[in-house]
Amino acid sequence: MDGNRKLEGRHALVTGAGSGIGAAIAVALAAAGARVTLAGRRATPLEALAAQIGPSAQVAAGFDVTDATAINDGIADARAAFGPIDILVNNAGEAPTAPFEKTSLEVWNHVLAVDLTGVFLVTQAALADLKARGPGGRIINVASTAGLTGYAYVSAYTAAKHGVIGLTRSLALELVKTGITVNAVCPGFTDTPMIAQAIKTIMTKTGRSHEEAASAFTKNNPQGRLITPEEVADAVLWLASPGAGSINGQAIAIAGGEVLAG
């Protein structure tokens, strides 16, 4: 087998695959030989990415991670197209900002539903496939440095990502006898459309330059920059590979040294 195609014959499902980190992960997994199901709510970006990747990708649109029926339908379609899922990447998430005292219960419940309960629902729905795969099955959760430390003005997101890391560690121990590994990657602020929009919002509200607005997201990274989606994808690719079989229950910070302990 070509060493660059170490995931040949594997089927990966990536949630939130339409842009940013999810899209980069899907591209990396496909380049390594995996067949990839691109899951998300909006068809247009998923279909564009599938066209870019080629026949090893297929789209599961309408894949709302808060809706158990939509999840089950999407996984059934994915299985029909590419066979059982043996690599699951839970990437879908949202991060609205607001002071804690202005965070409504509606926003709180929504963020936890997408960012935490969504991981629970998708993992539970895919678990039979992963168990059937046995040793070599992979669950990789995209958490955040917010799950390892605290950030102001994103209390719901921070709480949800702490929950994702707790779920990762618990499930890693529960599934250890099956040979399935469960890990989380924890990116710092990453150069994605979501951050680009946040920078534009800061510029509009404060009159700051792009460089000044961007510094709000780069100042805590000792390398003084945003993480790239491809760097996160490289970490996910490693965790999905056969050589990472002994890595289990870990929350790996990808943040240029901003967080030094998981």
Q: How far apart are CA 92 and CA 109, in angstroms?
A: 16
Distance of CA 151 to the CA centre of its chain: 19
Confidence (pLDDT) at 29: 98
User: Which candidate, 258, 237, 233, places its Cα nearest to that of 247?
Assistant: 237
pTM for the whole thing? 0.94
Averaged over 100-126, what is the pLDDT? 98
Dihedral angle of Cα 176, 33, 22, 114, to the nearest 10 degrees: -40
Residue written as tokens 């961007």? 214
Q: Looking at per-residue confidence, does 156 or 259 come out higher? A: 156
The torsion angles phi and psi of 121, rounded to 5 degrees, stand at -65, -45
User: Catalytic site residue 153?
Assistant: no
Q: How far apart are CA 168 and CA 173, in angstroms?
A: 9
Averaged over 237-243, what is the pLDDT? 97
Q: Catalytic residue among 85, 116, 118, 157, which? A: 157
- Under a CB-based contact definition with an 8 Å cutoff, are residues 177 and 134 in contact? no
14 pLDDT tier (thresholds 50, 70, 90) = very high
88 beta partners: 13, 139
